[in-house]
Each structure stands twice: as C-alpha cells, then as structure tokens.
Structure 1
Amino acid sequence: MTVKTSELADYLSGEWVQPVFRDQEIAGGYTSALLSDAMGKAVDEGILITIQAHKNTVAVAALKDLRAIIICGNRTVPADMIQAAKDEGIGIFRTPENQFTVSGKLYLLLNN
C-alpha cells in the first residue's frame, strides 16, 4: 500500500506539530533512539520513529531525505527543532504512543 506523509494522522494517534512538509509517498520506517544508528540505517524517503526531540534529529532526517519524524511518548518538541524541520520541509508528528506501537502500526499500514 502506498501512503503519503499527510495520511499518517489518519492512522496514528497524535498531532502534527510541524505540518509544513513535502507530501510524498513513504518508502518505509526506522525506529531508533540513537541518531548515529538512524543515520546509518534509516530508509531514504522513510519515516523516523524516535523519542529524540531536538534539532539534531532534523539534521539526520534531512541527511536521509526522510519524509517525517514521529516523536513518541508525547515529548515536548522545542521551537528550534520545529523551525529546522520547517526549513527542511520535514514534518514532525507527536504521539502519546510508544515506539513499539507506532512501529507496528506503520509496518501494517505499509505492508497491506
């Protein structure tokens, strides 16, 4: 199934905290709390599922041409992270769900 970035809100609990992004198809997802791990293994044109709510997460997402960052656990997203993501055209979605739950939902969504 093909899914666009804008459709994430239809399938996940939460909200867009940075809704200015390129609305493109999602190629996959990667879950990690280690940015060096995500930098090496995240799927280009995918989604990063993480608890890392800071500006460096956006730098990794931009390097990997990621469509969006999903911040789990309802963590606060700082203003400098939101601005950096807006500048890069990368969406930030915040959810109260944990990384395991979000990863499972995204996997089912992309593989049905």
Structure 2
Amino acid sequence: MKITQIIENLNLELLSGDKGMEREIKGVYSGDLLSVVMANAKEQQVWLTVQTHINVVAIAALIDIAAIIVVENMDVEEETIKKSNALGIPILKTNKTSYEIAVELYKLGID
C-alpha cells in the first residue's frame, strides 16, 4: 500500500516530505527510543512515534523508512519538517495513539 492510500484511509495530516508520497509501505514499526528503532526497524516500514526532533528524520533516512507518523498530536519542530522535505521522507500526523494507528494499519493489511 502506498503512503497516499494510508493518508486517505486513516485521515492523516501530511506535514512534510511530499516527494516521497508514492513509496510503498511494507510494514509498521512503533517505538520512541531511537537506538532501539535503529536496531530493529526495517526499510520501507512506516514508523509510529511521539519523537519530533530532527534525529527522527536522520534515522528514517539511515534505515530507509517509508514515512514517519507522529502520534498523539505532537508538534513537530520546524527543523525536522525542513529536513524531511529535503530528503523526501513524509511526516504524517494524527491525534491517535500508536496502538490505535497500528490497529488501523493492520486492518488495512499492513503489519
């Protein structure tokens, strides 16, 4: 499933990184401890997190994460948005929890 499709299906807000919108999602990773995400997330996954600083984009680029979904309506730093746009890594936002979005992604066939 493409990022554009999950935005539409889950009513997510696109904050940045629109150049990467056609990427295919091949799984979900949920985590907030950056070192654990670096060790365990896989390429082309969508990453669910409350973290909003620039390091999330660096880790997403390192692993080749398809998109970042910032949960619980957290405010994303301007520096993070700029880096996301520069690298074409979409950052999406929702007021739902990681658990709620993970369940919805699972129902869409992404696990």
The answer, yes or no, to whether TM exceeds 0.5 is yes
Mapped to 1, the partners of 2:85 and 2:110 lie a distance apart of 29
For residue 106 of structure 1, report the CA deviation from its aligned partner: 1.1
1:28-65 deviations in Å (ceiling 9; x for gaps): 11000111111111121111000001100001100111
Identity of counterpart residues, as a percentage? 32
1:82-111 deviations in Å (ceiling 9; x for gaps): 011111110000000001001111122125
Amino acid in the other structure paired with 1:39: M
Give the total of aligned pairs.
Answer: 110
For residue 9 of structure 1, report the CA deviation from its aligned partner: 1.3
TM-score if structure 2 supplies the norm length?
Answer: 0.92
Within 5 A, what are the aligned runs for 1:22-41?
Answer: 22=20, 23-41=22-40
Mapped to 2, the partners of 1:89 and 1:42 lie a distance apart of 19
Match of residue 106 from structure 2: 107
Q: Is the Cα–Cα contact under 8 Å of residues 54 and 80 in structure 2 kept in the other structure?
A: yes
Q: Is the Cα–Cα contact under 8 Å of residues 68 and 91 in structure 2 kept in the other structure?
A: yes
Q: Is the Cα–Cα contact under 8 Å of residues 11 and 105 in structure 1 kept in the other structure?
A: no
Classify the secondary structure of the residue corresponding to 2:24.
Answer: coil
Q: Is the Cα–Cα contact under 8 Å of residues 17 and 82 in structure 1 kept in the other structure?
A: yes
Q: Is the Cα–Cα contact under 8 Å of residues 19 and 90 in structure 2 kept in the other structure?
A: yes
Moved over 2 A (4+): none
User: Does 70-79 or 14-23 show the bigger shift?
Assistant: 14-23
Answer yes or no: is 1:15 the counterpart of 2:9.
no
Mapped to 2, the partners of 1:111 and 1:98 lie a distance apart of 17
Match of residue 64 from structure 2: 65
Unaligned runs of 5+ in 1: none
CA distance 1:28–1:79, change in 2 (3 Å) = same
TM-score if structure 1 supplies the norm length?
Answer: 0.91
